[in-house]
């Protein structure tokens, strides 16, 4: 077991947590969860059954999840994997929710998180994977308790051994899985003061960048007490053989192996690990390579996120006629190395939400609806198409769909029809109306505004069909605003 294997176990657990959290978030965007979240008075036995059944099935299908429950902050109701629904004050594990809310100081404040999930240690034996839904006000939480025995089995399977000396601690250094002969708790600050990274005292260690969890393993003894008499008797012969072998090995290593390794260590920027004698060169090079690879991947993810934001802002400027020349478009795309977007095919689809007539939704509810539609659009994204969701107004969302010129116009039109049919199917159970319109497919980014204007005219036509007198004398943009008056 070395540093690379400890890092591999940490990365695998982080990936598992991320996949679980993604599945939990997708369920929280379903119609049942959304209605329960934003409507405190809502109470439907069929919906309650579907939610608790999903929680129960999720626990049964995951070996490291023992139980789960969903908490809606507005209604203060808890839905459990034991197929029960009750108020927070009657919930047996309400102290877990209270402790988490008090620790984060979440109620009523606006905040941003780097990721949508985290691990929370209520006690050393009760660890929860938690996902949050915000708008950005916190509206709901989902808790999944980790099965520590299942976690131990997963680590054993990863190292492919019947037993493991690996101990796991949370970000505060409290023991979660502590093996015999390993300290119950560790001080995270003392690890930062270690002479060599990845080694502290008689232990190898690794700290997860995602969760802050600490993985610890003893280095092991070089000699057991039972071997001492045998070694004393055979020591002279061992010394003779060792000296002869060392001379031959030193010549071979220095000429064929060690010099290239030293050269690589020099390129890596440090030879202190070799000079101190506490670090295996191959392990060190593996660690350096792994970290440089992770840095490159992180830079690629950051560049992709930045590029998507730049493209979205460029599309918004095009739609709102804020670009004065094609040269500016080309210059912007050239800076993010995406000039191929200029020659693509584009189409605009507008989604205008019409609130129910029997009540007045609040801004949090409309933000949830808009976010749900945006998530549905992104779920339908598939190669060779790209989807860029843009928020028009409080009640209107715009989707720009692009693809390469090699894709036929008929195929792209069929893909857009599939998206519209999918969105209509998904929102039919939600308590609001949805008017959808699309423009024609335009060839070239500079003509995107024509597709947008045509979609606006189609919205105007649909609204005039339902209330022609109300729209009389209004411009196209004013008709898009008309849905906002339902909120007054």
Residue reference for tokens 């060599």: 196
| Alpha carbons 374 and 259: distance in angstroms, whole number | 56
How do 126-134 and 117-123 pair as beta strands? antiparallel
Q: Where are the beta strands (DSSP E) in 135-228?
A: 138-146, 167-169, 175-177, 199-200, 203-207, 214-218
Task: Give the pLDDT confidence score for residue 347 in this predicted structure.
Answer: 92
Task: Give the pLDDT confidence score for residue 56 in this predicted structure.
Answer: 92
Structure tokens at 327: 């040269």
Task: Give the pLDDT confidence score for residue 204 in this predicted structure.
Answer: 80
Inter-axis angle of helices 281-319 and 448-466, nearest 10: 60
Task: Give the pLDDT confidence score for residue 488 in this predicted structure.
Answer: 24
Query: Phi, psi (5° rounding) for residue 438?
Result: -135, 150
Task: Give the pLDDT confidence score for residue 486 in this predicted structure.
Answer: 31
Report mean pLDDT in 10-residue bins for the chain, 488 residues.
76 87 85 82 85 91 90 90 92 91 55 66 88 81 90 77 73 82 79 66 81 80 45 77 85 73 71 55 78 79 76 84 77 80 89 81 82 88 87 82 89 91 85 86 87 87 62 48 34
CA dihedral 477, 478, 480, 483 (to 10 degrees): 170
Which domains can be identified in the chain, with CATH numbers?
1-220 (no CATH), 225-279 (no CATH), 344-487 (3.30.70.1130)
Element (H, E) at 386: strand 386-393
Contact yes or no for 446/350 (Cβ under 8 A)? no
């Amino acid at each position: 077991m070395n540093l690379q294997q400890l890092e591999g176990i940490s990365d695998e657990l982080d990936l598992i947590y991320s996949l679980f959290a993604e599945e939990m978030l997708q369920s929280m965007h379903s119609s049942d969860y959304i209605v329960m979240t934003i409507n405190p008075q809502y109470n439907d036995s069929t919906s309650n059954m579907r939610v608790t059944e999903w929680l129960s099935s999720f626990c049964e299908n995951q070996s490291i999840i023992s139980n789960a429950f969903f908490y809606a902050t507005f209604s203060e109701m808890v839905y459990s994997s034991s197929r029960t629904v009750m108020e927070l004050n009657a919930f047996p594990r309400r102290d877990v929710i209270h402790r988490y809310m008090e620790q984060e100081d979440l109620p009523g404040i606006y905040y941003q998180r780097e990721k949508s999930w985290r691990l929370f240690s209520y006690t050393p034996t009760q660890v929860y994977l938690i996902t949050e839904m915000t708008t950005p006000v916190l509206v709901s939480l989902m808790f999944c308790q980790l099965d520590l025995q299942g976690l131990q089995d997963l680590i054993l399977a990863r190292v492919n051994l019947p037993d493991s000396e690996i101990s796991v601690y949370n970000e505060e250094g409290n023991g979660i899985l502590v093996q015999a002969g390993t300290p119950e708790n560790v001080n995270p600050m003392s690890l930062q003061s270690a002479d060599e990274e990845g080694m502290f005292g008689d232990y190898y260690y690794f700290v997860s960048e995602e969760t802050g969890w600490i993985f610890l393993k003893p280095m092991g003894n070089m000699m057991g007490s039972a071997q001492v008499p045998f070694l004393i008797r055979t020591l002279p012969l061992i010394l003779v053989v060792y000296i002869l072998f060392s001379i031959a090995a030193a010549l071979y290593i220095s000429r064929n192996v060690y010099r290239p390794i030293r050269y690589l260590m020099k390129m890596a920027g440090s030879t202190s690990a070799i000079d101190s004698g506490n670090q295996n060169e191959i392990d060190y090079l593996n660690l350096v390579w792994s970290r440089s690879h992770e840095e490159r991947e992180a830079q690629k993810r950051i560049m992709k996120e930045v590029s998507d934001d730049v493209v979205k802002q460029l599309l918004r400027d095009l739609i709102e006629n804020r670009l004065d020349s094609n040269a500016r478009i080309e210059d912007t795309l050239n800076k993010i190395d995406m000039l191929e977007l200029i020659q693509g095919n584009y189409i605009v689809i507008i989604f205008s939400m019409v609130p129910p007539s029997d009540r007045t939704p609040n801004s949090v509810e409309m933000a949830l609806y808009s976010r749900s539609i945006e998530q549905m659009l992104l779920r339908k994204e598939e190669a060779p198409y790209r989807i860029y969701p843009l928020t028009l107004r409080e009640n209107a969302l715009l989707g720009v769909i692009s693809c390469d010129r090699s894709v036929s116009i008929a195929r792209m039109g069929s893909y857009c029809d599939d998206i519209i049919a999918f969105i209509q199917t998904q929102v039919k159970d939600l308590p609001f109306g949805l008017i959808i319109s699309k423009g024609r497919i335009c060839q070239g980014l500079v003509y995107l505004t024509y597709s947008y204007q045509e979609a606006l005219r189609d919205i105007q036509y649909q609204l005039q069909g339902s209330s022609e007198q109300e729209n009389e004398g209004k411009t196209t943009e004013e008709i898009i605003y008309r849905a906002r008056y339902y909120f007054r």
